Amino acid sequence: MVSGKNLYINDTGNPGMATAGSGDVLSGIIAGLLAQKYDALTAAVFGGVFLHGRAGDIASQTYAHEGLKASIISNFVGAAILDLFRPEPQQPQQQ
């Protein structure tokens, strides 16, 4: 995605997401973020592209690509959000 001078590249998602209704899930994520007052670019890049793809990736850990449906992808959006905001485990500090 290009916005002005910025280029955004997404590396999430998989072939199983090419299924009926997947675009509706994508639109719903973007609309939800816009309703929460995110700006349009953030909603599109962060929600529309990254979260949607990450939800599909998490879903594909349980379901084969050929078995993914939009309803399954939508069930994993919450997991994608948690995955994104989960803090990295802290390493014990040596003294």
Can you give the residue ranges of every domain in the chain? 14-80
Single-letter code of the amino acid located at 21: G
The pLDDT value given to residue 94: 66
Pairing verdict, β 6-7 and 2-3: antiparallel
Helical ranges in 1-95 per DSSP H? 22-35, 40-42, 52-59, 70-75, 77-85
**CA atoms within 13 Å, Cβ hemisphere of 40:** 2
The whole model's pTM is what?
0.84
Beta carbons within 8 Å of 64's beta carbon, 6+ residues apart: 16
The pLDDT value given to residue 47: 78
Q: Mind listing the pLDDT tens digit for each residue in 6-25? A: 898 999 999 999 999 999 99
Both tokens assigned to 23: 């675009």
Distance of CA 49 to the CA centre of its chain: 6
Question: Regarding predicted confidence, which is higher, 57 or 87?
Answer: 57
